[in-house]
Amino acid sequence: ISASTASVMLAIGPFIALVLSHFITKDENFTVFKFIGVIFGFIGVFILFGEDFFAGSQNSLYGKIALLFAVCGYILSGFLIRSISSVPTLVTSSGMFITATIFLIPFIFILPNNSNGEILSLSFLSIVYLAIIPTATASLLRIKLVQKIGVQFMSQVAYLIPIFAIFWSWIIFNQTPEYILIVALLFIFSGLFIRNIK
């Protein structure tokens, strides 16, 4: 799936957080407007899924399903972080990455490796940057914010992701947004607007 489509899928995060927080925590309670907003948000996601379902594009459909599970996992991790707010941020972040590393090690031996063992300097620098800035540093900030202000408020960062992702995908990868993507995004943004009505 394209970066633009993935970014729109990520925008469903606040809706999932709203539904789960209603049942798991006391941070948010459902109102009529929030319920209508959630409906609009999920309609937007179903539009994206429907495109692949009717076109018979299984690879793209499976990719979107996997991404939806990833978004759910991201939101659930926020609730777990919120429930252990007394644990220091660095300890929580370290434990998260150590657990993820242990879980991923078997895949090194299972998945095929097409590389010749050489790592280009540019690739190595890219890996270092991705590990330090958008992963480790961002994780510390996210955990600290979730502990302080809650999952629901923190999940609203997903509002900005599609806007920047679609723009940069268009500039860097020359990926022109498809009309179905724009329609889905309009439904999701409409849902975000409605759910914030007091």
Query: DSSP characters for 142-179?
Result: HHHHHHHH-HHHHHGGGGTHHHHHHHHHHHHS--PPPH
Q: Each residue of 95-147: pLDDT tens digit?
A: 888 998 899 888 878 877 666 556 667 778 888 898 888 888 988 988 888 88
Report the number of secondary-structure helices (H) and strands (E) in the chain: 10, 0
How do the pLDDT tens digits run along the chain, 198 residues long? 777 778 878 878 888 888 887 777 766 667 888 888 888 888 888 887 776 666 666 677 788 888 889 888 888 888 888 888 888 999 999 988 899 889 988 887 887 766 655 666 777 888 889 888 888 898 898 888 888 877 777 777 777 777 788 788 888 878 777 788 888 888 888 888 887 787
